[in-house]
Structure 1
Amino acid sequence: MTKGYASELREGDGDFESSRVLDNAGSDDERVVEAALRPRRLAEFPGQPRVRDQLDLVLQAAKGRGAAPDHILLSGPPGLGKTTLAMIVAAELERPIRVTSGPAIQHAGDLAAVLSSLDEGEVLFLDEIHRMARAAEEMLYLAMEDFRVDVIVGKGPGATAIPLELPPFTVVGATTRDGLLPAPLRDRFGFTGRLDFYDPADLALILRRSASLLGVEIDHDAVVEIAGRSRGTPRIANRLLRRVRDWAQIHGDGRIDHAAAAAALELFDVDPVGLDRLDRAVLEALCRKYAGGPVGITTLAVAVGEEPDTVETVAEPYLVRQGFLERTPRGRLARPAAWAHLGLTPPASSTAQAMLPMEEPTPGRFAP
């Protein structure tokens, strides 16, 4: 694993802390505890019952046949467990795992070097697989289907393709944007698991387990409070738990109760529905500066001092899912829930725009 990818993975899909995904500022003792937070077996993996049961069937059947399982594609928003499940696949198969990422493979030769060093039955985890270079994707097609790669020796008319046979192996691909995967690559995965956001009950289970592993006493109301502000994402839930633990250690007796959880989350700008500073800035700009919209994403991003991609990929998905914001061909619109959350009264024109059916075309300038 390259140094660049180690930092990328640290901010990527690792939703439970592991020995592979560590904060450099953490102490050695805390690193050991963080490594224990990642479930190691499917039976320990909370939530996602459909994907868990399907994956268990695939792995158990492959083990019964004594063969490598079909290639596995895991898709879904960041922080829901794709990296964790990849590690679990290797653990369930009792095989080693090789970890790399799409952005790290920019040439076919990079992929050939990785593939040629795999042992029989080894698991190859490709994070953000949709970001691989096209030439590497084409080589991966052949490797996944026929377990061989063609190594090109020489250049120009004298170049020769030497076929290199590979031992059977299993690719586990993870992507946050499965729509960007080319159809030929997607079709070569024998199993595709789509991870959805967690409900509060599953997040509560994760928080209790993590608190136990961290050696922190936490009451039911505090668990409910943290779970309700975690945006349906285990990674966020565990991160918030550690920050609440810090607050209780400094300002309390180390025990986490509802008051400690609420005070800590307020300090870290996480409001009761899970909105953070950027989320609220987007809603404030949309409602206060642009009367609820519609407003373009670039203009909205400038208003909050962020890049358009950051607003579109970090803030918008949760705001849309919670019914605070609507994406339309004319721009972003604030929904009634956004005005209510900010304690504002929408202007009449904004209310009319928000209730206008988007599928009805607006009359043109020369319409009768």
Structure 2
Amino acid sequence: MTDHDRLVSAEAGADGEERVIEAALRPKRLDEFIGQHRVREQLSLVLHSALRRGRPPDHVLLSGGPGLGKTTLAMIIAAELGKPLRVSSGPAIERAGDLAAVLSTLSEGEVLFLDEIHRMARPAEEMLYMAMEDFRVDVVVGKGPGATAIPLDIAPFTLVGATTRAGMLPGPLRDRFGFVAHMDFYEPAELEVIIRRSARLLDVRIEDEGAAEIAGRSRGTPRIANRLLRRVRDYAEVRADGVITRDLARAALTLYEVDERGLDRLDRAVLRSLLRKFGGGPVGLSTLAVSVGEEPETVEVVAEPFLVRQGLLARTPRGRIATPAAWRHMGLTPPPSAPMADTLFALEDDQGDDPE
């Protein structure tokens, strides 16, 4: 199983139809953007100050998990500035020449959005330093001792970088961004507003209680909320009168195996195995993965982050341990030998490779 196979995946869908629908649901202006109040307020000041000065704003770095609105904010920045948006990504820029080709064709004030900027090739990254500071790049012509660096001026532009792994960004690159914002997960009340807005755009009738039910299972992520809304809409149209109520949303999401906390089949399989087969742990990652028929990377990357964030699973130096909340959520009674909260080690992601 990959993350893209899951209904509750925060990654962008691989099929074109989902991307088209997602684009149609995106807010177009900053005052339409829901949630992220601190980021929105700060970004508004940055943009309006730049407009008053008549100069491009500082470069912007947006960090946070997938599906939280980084791409949407990049599009909004270009719209608020009234400038074109050029979209690329770190993995697509494999050589310095690839970046030079993009930068040399930018118009004045244009917004360049680089998604997954932490995955950019190192030579291109070093070229970007000069471009961000001096709006100039050195294009190397020739090879070996006869190679010559030709300076090339580029139009002033605004770089918007997005990353899900801010810790992987080199310090020199991070320091060149004048505005850095971290995108937090959304509260259920914020997701309810997003769901009701999306329902209007999709011409779906939904009651407030139905929106609340979907929001509570959306893992704090707007992309997941909109995807669940579309699946519940399908259920409502085929098996009911098209109106999404709380009971109908519960029935639909039960059918799709998304429980009241947003856990899906894989999440529950990991918890069930940890609790029933290993008494709550500790157990090594590889052993746990084998017990649910998945690769260790799938369990570690796809399932564990949300379980840890929900306080259902702890990563410790001795292995994975279920928390008391996990026992309660799965409706099981922990045995006397099960590790309790006061015996858990600190949750540290860098201790993910546990001994067997």
TM-score, with normalisation over the residues of structure 2? Answer: 0.91
Shift of the alpha carbon at 1:12? 7.4
Shift of the alpha carbon at 1:146? 0.9
Shift of the alpha carbon at 1:313? 2.7
Partner residue, 1:262: 250
Partner residue, 1:355: 342
Shift of the alpha carbon at 1:340? 1.2
Partner residue, 2:74: 86
Partner AA of 1:356 in structure 2 = T
Structure 1 consecutive aligned stretches of length 4 or more whose deviation exceeds 4 Å: 11-14
Superposed counterparts of 1:1-368, under 5 Å: 23-25=15-17, 31=20, 34-352=22-340, 354-356=341-343, 358=345
CA distance in 1, matches of 2:26, 2:17: 19
Shift of the alpha carbon at 1:349? 1.6
1:13 touches 1:81 (CA, 8 Å); kept in 2?
A: no
Shift of the alpha carbon at 1:284? 1.2
RMSD over aligned Cα atoms: 1.8
CA spacing shift, 1:142–1:305, aligned 2, 3 Å: farther
1:13 touches 1:82 (CA, 8 Å); kept in 2?
A: no
Partner AA of 1:24 in structure 2 = G
CA distance in 2, matches of 1:243, 1:292: 34
CA distance in 2, matches of 1:34, 1:147: 34
1:74 touches 1:172 (CA, 8 Å); kept in 2?
A: yes
1:248 touches 1:255 (CA, 8 Å); kept in 2?
A: yes
Q: Secondary structure at the match of 1:103?
A: helix
1:13 touches 1:80 (CA, 8 Å); kept in 2?
A: no
The sequence identity of aligned pairs, in percent, is 69
CA distance in 2, matches of 1:355, 1:234: 34
Runs (5+) with no aligned partner, structure 2: 1-8, 347-356
Partner residue, 1:7: none
Q: Secondary structure at the match of 2:140?
A: strand
CA spacing shift, 1:114–1:174, aligned 2, 3 Å: same
2:314 touches 2:344 (CA, 8 Å); kept in 1?
A: no
1:226 touches 1:241 (CA, 8 Å); kept in 2?
A: yes
C-alpha deviations, 1:161-210, integer Å up to 9, x for none? 11111110011000011000000000000000111010011001000100
Shift of the alpha carbon at 1:35? 3.5
Partner residue, 1:8: none
CA distance in 2, matches of 1:12, 1:269: 16
Shift of the alpha carbon at 1:299? 2.5
CA distance in 1, matches of 2:101, 2:38: 35
TM-score, with normalisation over the residues of structure 1? Answer: 0.88
Q: Secondary structure at the match of 1:52?
A: helix
Q: Greater CA deviation, 150-159 or 303-312?
A: 303-312
1:297 touches 1:308 (CA, 8 Å); kept in 2?
A: yes
CA distance in 2, matches of 1:12, 1:199: 16
C-alpha deviations, 1:107-166, integer Å up to 9, x for none? 111111111111111111000111111111111111111111111111111011111111
